[in-house]
Amino acid sequence: MTVESVQVKLAQHSYPVWIGAGVWSEVLLTAQSHIQNNKKCVAITSPAIAQAQPDLIKKISAVMPIIITQVDGEKAKSADELLRLWNFLAAQGIARDGTVFAIGGGVIGDLAGFTAATYQRGVECIQVPTTLLAMVDSSVGGKTGINLTAGKNLVGSFHQPLAVYADTALLSTLPAREFAAGMAEVIKHGLIADKKLFSDLQSLAPLTWQSPQLPAVIRRCVEIKASVVSDDEFETKKEGGRALLNLGHTFGHAIEAVAGYGTYLHGEAVAIGLVMAARLSAELGQCTAAEVTAVEKTLTAYSLPTQLRSPLSLEALMAAMKRDKKVRSGKCRFILMQGIGSAKSTEEVPEDLAAKIFRSGGAI
CA-to-CA distance for 24 and 133, rounded, in angstroms? Answer: 17
Does 206 lie in the same domain as 137?
no
pTM of the model: 0.95
User: Which domain does 228 fall in, by range?
Assistant: 185-360
Which of 173, 197, 213 marks a domain boundary? 173
34 catalytic residue (yes or no): no
Report yes or no on 157 lying in a domain: yes
What was the pLDDT predicted at 1? 60
- Per-residue pLDDT of the chain (364 residues), as tens digits, is 678 999 999 988 999 999 999 999 999 999 999 999 999 999 999 999 999 999 999 999 999 999 999 999 999 999 999 999 999 999 999 999 999 999 999 999 999 999 999 999 999 999 999 999 999 999 999 999 999 988 889 999 999 999 999 999 999 999 999 999 999 999 999 999 999 999 999 999 999 999 999 999 999 999 999 999 999 999 998 888 999 999 999 999 999 999 998 899 999 999 999 999 999 999 999 999 999 999 999 999 999 999 999 999 999 999 999 888 777 777 889 999 999 999 999 998 999 999 999 999 999 9
Q: Which of 143, 152, 279, 326 is catalytic?
A: 143
Where does a domain end: 139, 173, 207?
173
Catalytic residue flag (residue 326): no
Same domain? For 228 and 332 the reply is yes
The answer to whether the beta carbons of residues 187 and 201 sit under 8 Å apart is yes
Same-domain pairing of 336 and 191: yes
The per-residue pLDDT for range 239-285, each reduced to its tens digit, is 889 999 999 999 999 999 999 988 999 999 999 999 999 999 999 99
Q: Which of 37, 38, 121, 348 is catalytic?
A: 121
Do 206 and 333 lie in one domain? The reply is yes
121 tagged catalytic: yes
- The active-site residue out of 225, 279, 326, 333 is 225
Domain shared by 21 and 160, yes or no: yes
Are 194 and 142 within one domain?
no
Pair 239, 353 in one domain? yes
**Taking every pair of C-alpha atoms in the chain, what is the biggest distance, in angstroms?**
60
C-alpha torsion angle, residues 273, 104, 186, 337 (rounded to 10): 40
Sequence letter at residue 283: E
Q: What stretches of the chain show up as alpha helix (H) in DSSP? A: 24-36, 47-52, 54-63, 79-91, 106-118, 132-133, 176-193, 195-204, 214-231, 249-259, 266-283, 289-301, 314-322, 351-360
Provide the 10 A C-beta neighbour count for residue 201: 23
Does residue 178 form part of some domain?
no
User: Which candidate in 4, 124, 185, 235 is catalytic?
Assistant: 185
Q: Can 359 be counted among the known catalytic residues?
A: no
Domain count, the chain: 2
| HSE value, Cβ hemisphere, 13 Å, CA-based, for 3 | 15
**Residue 242 annotated in active site:** yes
Whether 4 is a known active-site residue: answer no
Regarding whether 271 and 128 lie in a shared domain, the answer is: no
Is 13 annotated in the active site? no
**CATH number for 343:** 1.20.1090.10
Q: Is 45 helix (H, G, I), strand (E, B) or coil?
A: strand
Cα 272 versus chain centre, distance? 16
